[in-house]
Amino acid sequence: MLTNQMNDQPEGLNGETCAPVCDRRGFLRRGVGALGASVAALVILDLGELKALAQKAGVPTRPAGPVLGGYDWTKHNYVYLIDLRKCIGCGSCVRACYRENDVPAGYFRTWVERYQVSAVGELVIDSPNGGKDGFEPSIIGYEVAKGFFFPKLCCHCTNTPCVQLCPVGASYRTLDGVVLVDEKRCVGCGYCVQACPYGSRFLHPVTHTASKCTLCYHRLTRGLEQACVQACPVGARRLGDTKKLGDEVARIIATERVQILQPELLTEPNCFYLGLTKEAR
Amino acid sequence: MEHTKHIIRAVLLLVLATVGFVLVRHFVYPESFGRYGHYRFDSVAEHASKELEHGAPGVCNRCHAEEAQKKAEGKHASVSCELCHGPLGVHVKADAKVGDMPIDRSVKLCGYCHQRLDARRSDFPQVVLASHALEKGAPTAEMACLECHNAHKPNE
């Protein structure tokens, strides 16, 4: 009964003059066809656009590495090693970072904290001006059983939260393992500053964009070590490259008991510590 | 076929929207955006091309070989020149002298490393700056470290 009714309808209404366009099935068929063609056109156009861009730049879109003035970023993967047993808390690294990177006063790309633990576990942590002016003897009311200095900087995480939530693609991780901020794209929303579990980002008071340790990318690409590494008088801060054959720091990280900060967050930091202790946080 | 024009209109609208999208995207997105990931590749080059402040290690030896040699023989061998003297950028730029290197003779500078601190590891040489000079028989406590010690070769 039903099929009969449906077949009868077009004839009954319009006779033979109106062919398949009128009936619902024919209309849908043509409509879907047109929609499909449009989507195909869109895809082709967009692909063409991307290809044209890549050709203009003269590089393949992925994954070969470009050369920044003779520097191939696919041939490096940087890691950073801090030996807390060596650090003397002189703050030279902080001062060097300030001079190298023109850091605004009161903000830090790297800083040093002082931990003073008593025999029964009392703990005082301080970092006057980030350790930039060194440390003065302090009266804390107990004898220090365990004291150490704790230098911190951006961990340049492999699985970094700051890059993931940047709404404008201003935060990114380079192929050689450095987390950078594109100051021209950054809108200064500060999401990344809040997202960083290590507190290593800040909003620049003048440019109002996110700023952070760049691992002295301008030095790395010229084959030099970071200002902080070069400044450290006791070799507590070291730069490594896991893609470099026979790299001493890469060997230490691969074979010794190195630790990372807040491993439970699964951010996979590339800043490793030797001599980390339970009080360190 | 009287409804064909409706379909043509819809298709035209879609094509226009697509072209518009591609055009707007072309102008709004920076040229190097997305080449290696969700970021502007030119930014990498911008970071890389920043000017150096601190020099390469050993660059001071070119002109100051004598001092460098002296330092290399002493206990300050692992201390970089720039740690005490400041970055090379204030003194030399593009192989030309642009200014004098600041020389800091203050007790504070020595104290950064050698002030006695509870948290400082005990195997590192350190003194109580407030009383060290008097203990060693100096007339005043405010005497500069450099009056007795040679900064380039402190063990001498």
Q: How far is B72 from chain A (nearest CA, A)?
A: 13
Is the pLDDT score of A18 beyond 60? no
Same domain, B110 and B155: yes
B22, B30, B112 member nearest A91 (Cβ)? B112
Q: Please give the pLDDT value at position A47.
A: 64
Q: How far is B99 from chain A (nearest CA, A)?
A: 16
The residue written with tokens 């707007």 in the block is B24
Mark yes or no for CB contact A231/B111 under 8 Å: no
Distance CA A227, CA A238 (A): 11
**Range of the structural domain that residue B150 is part of:** 104-156
Which chain A positions have a beta carbon within 8 Å of B113's beta carbon?
88, 90, 92, 233
Summarised one tens digit per residue, pLDDT across range B7-64 is 999 999 999 999 999 999 888 888 889 889 999 999 999 999 999 999 998 899 999 9
Long-range contacts of B59-68 (CB under 8 A, 24+ apart): B59/B88, B60/B88, B67/B152
Q: Which tops the pLDDT comparison, A278 or B156?
A: A278
Distance CA A94, CA A198 (A): 17
Tokens of A166: 């940047």
DSSP state of B118: T
> What ipTM was assigned to the predicted interfaces of this complex?
0.87
Mark yes or no for CB contact B35/A42 under 8 Å: no
Same domain, B121 and B93: no
The residue written with tokens 């400044």 in the block is A231
Distance CA A32, CA B7 (A): 10
Q: Please give the pLDDT value at position A17.
A: 52
B33, B87, B121 member nearest A88 (Cβ)? B121
Among candidate residues B103, B120, B138, the one where a domain is terminated: B103
Check if the beta carbon of residue A162 is closer than 8 Å to that of residue A192: yes
Helix/strand/coil for A203: strand
Mark yes or no for CB contact A99/B108 under 8 Å: no
B26, B30, B80 member nearest A231 (Cβ)? B80
Same domain, B74 and B122: no
Check if the beta carbon of residue A91 is closer than 8 Å to that of residue A132: yes
Mark yes or no for CB contact A49/B53 under 8 Å: no
Range in A102-111, A134-143, A264-273, B139-148 the model is least confident about: B139-148
Same domain, B57 and B96: yes
Q: State the CB neighbour count (10 A cutoff) for residue B42.
A: 15
Tokens of A88: 């003397």
Same domain, B70 and B25: no
The residue written with tokens 């001079």 in the block is A99
Number of domains present in the structure of chain B: 3
* pTM score: 0.81
